[in-house]
Each structure stands twice: as structure tokens, then as C-alpha cells.
């Protein structure tokens, strides 16, 4: 499958939404990528990888949440660093309360 942005149709986006529920479009200057939200397994792998190399967290998130788009976002450092600044927004944490009874 060609992963360039221009090959990603609205039908493909709808199929991703049906499978993954929430899909995100990441834009870094003239490049685009489509990502799903990371699950617990991806977050665990990213956290483990970051213990030896902090940049690995973003690399694991980007690689494992990647659905399609311009490969340069993964391979070109300047695009990767731009994307890295936004990846934490994929991680949604709900507020919880703990009540002693």
C-alpha cells in the first residue's frame, strides 16, 4: 500500500474510524499522518523503551499508532521532532476520584 497522503481516501479514513473509533490527523508543515490513539500495550512499550532513551517514547507511539501518511514524518528528524511535540495529545487521561469509605 502506498502510504503517501494523497492516496488516503475518505473511505479509508471511515474504515479506520470504524475499526479504531478515534482517528487523528497530524500535520507537520507540508506533511500529514493519520494516527489512532495508543492503547495500554503501546503506552507500556513506549514507557519501557524510554527508560534507556527518552526519544524512544515518541518513536514507539508514532510507529505503533501510525495508520498512514507521509513516511518522512517517521524518517526525517525535523518532521519527527515536530510530530513529537504533539504526540502527547493522543494520550487521553480521564479524571478519577478516590473516596475513603
- Number of structural domains in the chain: 1
Q: Is residue 97 assigned to a domain?
A: no
Q: Is residue 100 assigned to a domain?
A: no
Where in the sequence is the domain holding 38, given as residue range(s)?
5-90
- 6 has a pLDDT exceeding 90: no
Q: Is residue 96 assigned to a domain?
A: no
User: Do residues 57 and 46 lie in contact, with contact meaning Cβ atoms separated by under 8 Å?
Assistant: yes
Instruction: Tell me the average pLDDT across 54-68.
Output: 95
Q: CATH code at 31? A: 3.30.2220
Q: Is residue 101 assigned to a domain?
A: no
Q: Is residue 60 assigned to a domain?
A: yes
pTM of the model: 0.84
Q: What's the pLDDT tens digit per position in 13-24? A: 999 999 999 999
Q: What's the pLDDT tens digit per position in 74-91? A: 999 999 999 999 998 998
Q: Is residue 25 assigned to a domain?
A: yes
Amino acid at each position: 500500500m502506498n502510504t503517501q497522503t494523497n492516496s488516503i481516501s475518505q473511505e479509508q479514513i471511515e474504515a479506520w474510524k470504524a475499526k479504531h473509533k478515534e482517528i487523528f490527523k497530524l500535520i507537520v508543515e507540508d506533511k500529514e499522518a493519520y494516527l489512532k490513539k495508543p492503547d495500554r500495550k503501546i503506552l507500556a512499550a513506549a514507557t519501557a523503551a524510554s527508560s534507556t532513551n527518552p526519544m524512544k517514547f515518541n518513536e514507539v507511539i508514532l510507529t505503533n499508532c501510525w495508520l498512514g501518511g507521509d513516511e518522512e514524518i517517521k524518517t526525517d528528524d525535523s518532521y519527527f521532532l515536530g510530530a513529537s511535540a504533539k504526540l502527547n495529545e493522543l494520550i487521553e487521561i480521564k479524571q478519577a476520584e478516590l473516596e475513603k469509605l
